[in-house]
Amino acid sequence: MSFSVVVSGATGYAGGEVLRLLATHPEVEVKTVAAHSSAGQRLGDLAPHLRKYANLTVQDTTVENLAGHDVVFLALPHGASAEVAAQLPEGTLVIDAGADHRLESASAWEKFYQSEHAGFWPYGLPELLTSEGKQREALRGASRIAVPGCYPTASILALNPGFAAGLLQPRDVVIIAASGTSGAGKSLKPHLLGSEIMGGMLPYGVGGGHRHTPEIEEKLSATAGEPVQISFTPTLAPMPRGILATATAKVKDGVGEADLRAAWESAYTDEPFVHLLPEGQWPHTKSVQGSNHAVMQLAFDEHAGRVIVTSAIDNLAKGTAGGAIQSMNIALGLEENLGLAQEGLVP
């Protein structure tokens, strides 16, 4: 049996990546693609790389066009998914790549998104260690899933094992992450003009203002069982895809390198897509490009009393579309790695 799927936001980077990965998925059939301003056009004229779906005509994102499928992927701008999602049948699996249902805290949502909170769905990060075990269990049979943001995926995976094992201090956590330009979506943005971003790097959202700050804090706090406070700085890197996050936290008294390594190893050793690299190897964004894998390495800086964890993901794969499909597989009771067999694209 195959599951019928509609991808809304199909003409965007995230929706396009969902389609690219689903093209090799043996248990689903993409029946409908939808978007907004490009409705009525042939997908092949807008996204020629998606050959399998070239002859599908882009539909408008309406409840009527989305209903009637087993699975609905929403890859729309923030704020655009909540209203349509609320009108879809309970039995439909709805997977939202946008932010609308990621935050449990209504006040954090209102502060960072300046709009009404739409509610909270199970968080689509299967490897997250929670007080009730791995988040994977909360996704089994779920009918609504909120896919994490790309920076939160890289950052939370980097620090979660240390908080789950009670090894890290909850204050003075610093995360600096570099993202490829596709993280900003396909619409024209003045700070992303090719001639200015190629060959150079710049920070943005500096000083605690980036909307991924509350998302990272909320999930790490739930794991730690106490409020975790982070300072997060994103930067733009001259590459189309990829995130390299460097996260550092002070360790608790008496914690050493062996404790840290044991915690990260035990968190990820059985995970199909998240890996602590062998000692001495450090993550490279190229090695996960196009794949659903996340790779990381840690070091203990004894002088500073801090653990330093560097993690790499592809923002469009594990950071969005890959994570969304992995979560779909779990929710539907399929093998978790279906449609996600791609290795990294090197060089």
Ligand X SMILES: CC(=O)N[C@@H](CCC(=O)OP(=O)(O)O)C(=O)O
Instruction: Find out whether the peptide bond into 278 is cis, omega within 30 degrees of 0.
Output: no
Q: By C-beta, is 18 or 159 nearer to ligand NDP?
A: 18
Residue of 7, 150, 267, 294 marked active site: 150
Most distant pair of Cα atoms in the chain: their distance: 63
Question: For binding to ligand NDP (CB under 6 A), which residues are involved?
Answer: 9-15, 35-38, 61, 75-78, 80, 97-99, 149-150, 182-183, 185-187, 315-316, 319-320
Of ligand X, ligand NDP, none, which one sits near residue 186, judging by CB under 5 to 8 A according to partner kind? Answer: ligand NDP
Of ligand NDP, ligand X, none, which one sits near residue 38, judging by CB under 5 to 8 A according to partner kind? Answer: ligand NDP
Residues in the interface with ligand X (CB under 6 A) total 9
Q: By C-beta, is 73 or 264 nearer to ligand NDP?
A: 73
CA 344 and chain centroid, separation = 17
Q: How far is the CB of 273 from ligand NDP (least distance, A)?
A: 16
Of ligand X, ligand NDP, none, which one sits near residue 15, judging by CB under 5 to 8 A according to partner kind? Answer: ligand NDP
Q: By C-beta, is 62 or 231 nearer to ligand NDP?
A: 62
| 150 lines the binding site for ligand X (CB under 6 A) | yes
Identified binder of ligand X from the candidate list 122, 162, 170, 234, rule CB under 6 A: 234
> Rule CB under 6 A: which residues touch ligand X?
98-99, 149-150, 179, 183-184, 234, 236
- Catalytic positions: 150
